[in-house]
Structure 1
């Protein structure tokens, strides 16, 4: 059964993210080595609610966690056919594919966050909206100076823009349109033209990185296209900072390419829930849904031989 590994983005982390992984014997050594190279006290900041969601820390922490899980899966002989990542998770997906080594991915995640913070206008952020069609959301965005940042489904998307504007319209959207609105714990308007300068800067960092052979394709969150070359990877990873993501298309392409089982690296299970909603008959689990990493390995062993 073809396995697609999913790598989450910002907002999925929790204060027990690193301690839980460090408590796992098969994961601890991988994670300790990775976080020891970060330019901050990763364990302390990951458990500090006031700092763990800040861009400069969140992005490298999420990549470190995912990279450690990826290394542990490979050490246990788990075969991966496809990888895909949501926002910063696409960088983790390249660690899964073997196209970027984990240490380079952490360096790139740190640089990516720095470039985005520098480019972002003040008092901007993102909000997720469910239960409203994309045409209506586009009209709302245009009317209020917002941007469509991510399309997750026909009635599930993420808008970005002025935090004050988004807060001022959310009650009306909930009352008049029956929308379910969640303000994301993100301080930059990712995947919008406001971050065009960050795209340029990050492309330079990607071009200076040593790329390796792809063990499996990475499905780009820009359009779902399979990435298996350095030039394509650099283009997608840089552009996705300032262009909207078509995550719904990414999931569709994963199914078209034969994925019949999905495993989310964690933290959280947001991407797993999206898969279940779209493909109710496939096998989909997140590491966060298992009590132990051994339990996840047992499930993976069962589904791979199905």
Structure 2
């Protein structure tokens, strides 16, 4: 069986995932290392949408994904490769790497802080635009000073900019016939030139980390390339901060490696749905499809 694991990005985290993190951290002896995060999450859970704040969301989602992988990996086949969507690719690297949890958590937290700091002077947001191709979309981006962040397919894009400009883009996209145009629960214009300075700073920081080995290769969402080393990860993850992702091309690369079974380590199951539509012959489920994490283990056991 050709088995793969994919890691989702931001936007579908919930208070239910906070309880899961606490349970898994206690099970795997990482509660002390995550004590500060737990305090932040408990405070955020009491405030509307605070768990979507970038500086909380990134370490929150990474910790969930790392702990989930730690919890299921011994009961699953060895993956042929990992892949990840936005933040998910950084999580994939940390789960593949021999870096300690402390260094991995620091990496993700530093990434979040640097990205937030370089846009704190302007309120920013992201939006999903569906039903316009790139040629139709580009003039609208130019007129509203917004940028493509991620290509999901030929007619579906994630865009970013200031809140005011993204709102303008949503309005003109709808007027131009977009089937869907709505704001996302992400406050940092990831994968755009808004974060040029953050990308340079992150690259410098990444270079100070202990060198590590990657146990499982990653198919990148940047250009679908497969990489195997710490040095390659440093270059790719740094460049992703201020360059758009091409998830469509990534899925095409995934298809070339002919996986039989894919597990999505959420939150959410958005990637499972996209990949399932793109590769209908592949068996794919998200951990969030099951009420308990053991459900994904039982599901995979049907194919081993």
**TM-score of the aligned structures, taking structure 2 as reference length:** 0.92
SS of the equivalent of 2:50 reads: coil
Change (3 A) 1:246 1:34: farther
Once the two structures are superposed, the pairs formed by residues 161-176 of structure 1 within 5 Å of their partners are 161-176=161-176
Which residue matches 1:47?
Answer: 45
* Cα distance between partner residues in 2 of 1:95 and 1:73: 16
Are 1:177 and 2:171 matched, yes or no? Answer: no
Following superposition, the deviation at residue 42 of structure 1 comes to 4.5
The worse-fitting range, judged by mean Cα deviation, of 234-243 and 224-233 is 224-233
Asked if 1:107 corresponds to 2:106, the answer is yes
SS at 1:56 equivalent: helix
1:75 Cα deviation from its structure 2 partner: 3.2
2: distance between equivalents of 1:279 and 1:150? 20
Relative to structure 1, is the Cα distance of residues 34 and 92 closer, same or farther in structure 2, using a 3 angstrom cutoff? farther
Q: 2 CA distance for matches of 1:130 and 1:31?
A: 43
How many residues are treated as equivalent by the alignment?
A: 302
The answer on whether the counterparts of 2:25 and 2:31 sit within 8 Å (CA) in structure 1 is no
1:64 aligns with 2:63: yes
Q: Which runs of 5+ in 1 are unaligned?
A: none
State the 1:63 CA deviation.
0.4
User: Which residue of structure 2 lines up, in the alignment, with residue 30 of structure 1?
Assistant: 28
Deviation at 1:222, TM superposition (A): 1.0
CA distance in 1, matches of 2:237, 2:175: 37
- TM-score normalised over the length of structure 1: 0.91
Please name the residue that 1:223 is paired with.
Answer: 223
Give matches, 1:254-269, under 5 Å.
254-269=254-269
What is the alpha-carbon distance in structure 1 between the residues aligned to residue 43 and residue 126 of structure 2? Answer: 23
Superposed, 1:95-244 pairs within 5 Å as 95-120=94-119, 121-244=121-244
Q: Give the drift of 1:212.
A: 2.5
- 1:251 aligned residue: 251
**8 Å Cα contact 2:140/2:173 also seen in 1:** no
Report Cα offsets for 1:116-138 as digits up to 9, x if no partner.
11111502211011222122122
Distance 1:31 1:271, change over 3 A: farther
Output one character per residue of 1:88-117: Cα deviation in whole Å (capped at 9) or x when no partner.
111110133234333222111111111111
Q: 1:47 to 1:253 in 2, by over 3 A?
A: same
Q: Distance in 1 between matches of 2:297 and 2:273?
A: 20
- What CA distance in whole angstroms lies between the structure 2 residues aligned with 1:80 and 1:45? 36
More deviation, 164-173/176-185: 164-173
Question: Offset of 1:40 from its aligned partner?
Answer: 5.9
